[in-house]
Structure 1
Amino acid sequence: MANYIRFDWAMKRMLRNKANFGVLEGLLTTLLREKITIRHMLESESNQEEEYDKYNRVDMLAENSKGDLILVEVQNNNEFAYFQRMLFGTSKLITEYISRGEGYDKIRKVYSVNIVYFSLGHGTDYVYHGTTEFRGIHDNDILQLSPFQMEKFKETEVCKLFPEYYVLKVNDFNRLAKTPLDEWIYYLNTGNIPDESNAPGLEEARQRLLLDRMTKDELAAYYRHLDNIVILRDNITTERAEGRAEGRAEGRAEGRVEGEAEGRNKEKKDIARKMKVLGIDTATIVGATGLSESDISAL
């Protein structure tokens, strides 16, 4: 199997090039379930501010053929307030792309696509979709657009006027890829694209994101990136603390000590899986997690 560049690196260095738009268009088409054609990449005011202001950072901002704004962010490090960061990002984007004096009907649709390589929240799925709806507190009905609003906005649902959020919890994917979206998540998780994968955009990724297309200097920078993104000591400490807390909570709920051990073991395997993706040798993984070599090879 060929070796491919990780998606987070490609996002920062390669996918802004129009020649490579097909890769990102394929992911967005698969995720949003509609044909996405990127008109061009945009620069938000957020992206132009001070580098240290991480709350304003935009990884990639695109405009599709319908004029919708698509914000794509990749986050490697654990951030407990990431949900609020998503909200801040879309809110600021909306205000940036409406001119002073324009009516509210000119507010543009925003899609927020968040690819996270850490345990965000608590849930059993690995792809989540968030929309806004208004539900009656007495009749439990959903507030709908009027016929005039439908005609004016060319939409049939109120939720379509609000930002939509997608969260891809990449590290939680541990199954066979059976759908085009699964094939994409598998690539995001492992950096590998099996020969049988045919989801939109993956063929372009095969052609354009090969490691052997990189220069010596680019490879050196890329490997430094791999060394720094996930396996930092403070991240490992955070993961361990969360695993122990989860284990204690499960143990109290079930009235047995096994819950804590199970939580710790799950956390160790999550860390080991990340380290394997980064190409870190087994001996180092054993030292960092305490798992056996056989456990690590089985991941």
Structure 2
Amino acid sequence: MPRRRLISFDWALKKLLRSKANFEILEGFLSELLKDDIQILEILESESNKEARQDKYNRVDLKVKNQREELIIIEVQYEREYDYLQRILYGTSKVITEHMDESQPYSQVVKVISVNILYFDLGQGDDYVYHGTTVFKGLHGQDVLRLTEEQRELYKRQEVHEIYPEYYLIKVNNFNDVAKDTLDEWIYFLKNEEIKEEFSAKGLKKAKQELDILKLPEKERQAYERYQDDLHYQASMVESSYTIGVKKGIKQGIKQGLQQGLQQGIQQGLQQGIQQGMVEGKKEKALEIAKNLIDVLDVKTIAMKTGLTEVEIEALKKRL
């Protein structure tokens, strides 16, 4: 059977998954990733709810509230950002402060989960899914700090790390297209925009029905095609800029290396020339003195006076 073309997940986040009728798709993805039965209560206004993709710097995000009043930020990022780890830290911190009233005690700090779907290589690591939490570990006994019974009751949490923001990094391009579990089935879709018949992950059946490109109205389908063309164009521009930059850097490095090497060679040559000239000048002066002493002193004494060897003085006598 021909492959059924599906809408990419970032376009779905931007256009379709904000509808309550499609919460099942988003809930399925989050449930498989977080290993929990996630139910979405509402979609909240996020930082980048804008129509023009360029206004968001190649970024699409969505902020949802689940049944536990936790806030989940879902973000899709295509372009390379070297400070991306700091940016997601800033993003979670901003969400916490935005959802905290001045009169509230700190025990009411909202729980934030940051889910990042990345189409570029971030950091060094071969895996395709990374999970980050905050853990306090003893320096001496290596024990992990736990909550007391009173704190568990107050925070409605069982462990310390559950209080702090959590981060999920999905490095889509690292996935080898072999789906070993239901989360892998979702990542396969994220990478290939395809859902296989045998996939059974939560939300994928609904996604296969609702994200079919053929179901889009003609105007929206054209907008989606332009969006995909823009993605390919910007990816090519980034790759070209990177390649050109590397080649330019290598050429500049070689040129600078040659210039520095030439300058060092000239300086070393001058120094060696001066030193050799001084040595030769001293020797010429010693030979001139030896000429004047040959008829007066013996060879041994002349050698002592001039610093020449007796062989050199004997050779000088033969030439005279």
What interval of TM-score do these two structures reach, taking the shorter chain for normalisation? 0.7 to 0.9
Q: SS of 1:40's equivalent?
A: strand
Q: Is the Cα–Cα contact under 8 Å of residues 48 and 56 in structure 2 kept in the other structure?
A: no
5 Å-filtered alignment, 1:218-229, equals 218-229=220-231
1:46-70 residue CA offsets vs partner (Å, 9 max, x unmatched): 3479x88859x77100000111101
Q: Is the Cα–Cα contact under 8 Å of residues 29 and 186 in structure 2 kept in the other structure?
A: yes
Q: SS of 2:80's equivalent?
A: coil
Measured in 2, the distance between the counterparts of 1:207 and 1:61 equals 24
Q: SS of 1:39's equivalent?
A: strand
Assess, with a 3 A threshold, how the Cα gap between structure 1 residues 150 and 125 changes in structure 2: closer, same or farther: same
Q: SS of 1:59's equivalent?
A: strand
Shift of 1:197: 0.6
Shift of 1:2: 1.5
Measured in 2, the distance between the counterparts of 1:84 and 1:170 equals 20
Q: Which of 231, 234, 237 is equivalent to 1:234?
A: 237
Question: Quick check: 224-233 or 163-172, which moved more?
Answer: 224-233
Measured in 2, the distance between the counterparts of 1:134 and 1:144 equals 9
Shift of 1:237: 3.1
Q: SS of 2:45's equivalent?
A: coil
Q: Percent of counterpart pairs with the same letter?
A: 45
Shift of 1:241: 7.8
TM-score calculated relative to the size of structure 2: 0.71
Q: Which of 192, 195, 216 is equivalent to 1:193?
A: 195
Measured in 2, the distance between the counterparts of 1:134 and 1:103 equals 22
Shift of 1:154: 2.2
Q: Is the Cα–Cα contact under 8 Å of residues 60 and 76 in structure 2 kept in the other structure?
A: no
Which structure has the larger Rg over C-alpha atoms? 2
Matched positions, count = 242
* Superposed CA RMSD: 2.3
Q: Which of 24, 34, 44 is equivalent to 2:36?
A: 34
Measured in 1, the distance between the counterparts of 2:12 and 2:210 equals 10
1:186-220 residue CA offsets vs partner (Å, 9 max, x unmatched): 00000000111110000010111001111111111
Aligned residue for 2:136? 134
Shift of 1:234: 3.0
Bigger relative contact order, structure 1 or 2 (CA pairs below 8 A, ≥6 apart): 1
5 Å-filtered alignment, 1:94-113, equals 94-113=96-115
Measured in 2, the distance between the counterparts of 1:58 and 1:188 equals 14
5 Å-filtered alignment, 1:249-260, equals none
Q: Which of 82, 85, 104 is equivalent to 1:83?
A: 85
- For residue 38 of structure 1, what is the amino acid of its counterpart? I
- For residue 121 of structure 1, what is the amino acid of its counterpart? G
Aligned residue for 2:165? 163
Q: Is the Cα–Cα contact under 8 Å of residues 77 and 229 in structure 1 kept in the other structure?
A: no
Aligned residue for 1:117? 119
TM-score calculated relative to the size of structure 1: 0.76
5 Å-filtered alignment, 1:9-20, equals 9-20=11-22
Measured in 2, the distance between the counterparts of 1:144 and 1:241 equals 52
Aligned residue for 2:174? 172
1:257-283 residue CA offsets vs partner (Å, 9 max, x unmatched): xxxxxxxxxxxxxxxxxxxxxxxxxxx
Q: Which of 205, 208, 232 is equivalent to 2:207?
A: 205
Shift of 1:175: 3.5
Shift of 1:37: 0.5
Shift of 1:151: 1.8
- For residue 153 of structure 1, what is the amino acid of its counterpart? Y
Q: SS of 1:151's equivalent?
A: helix
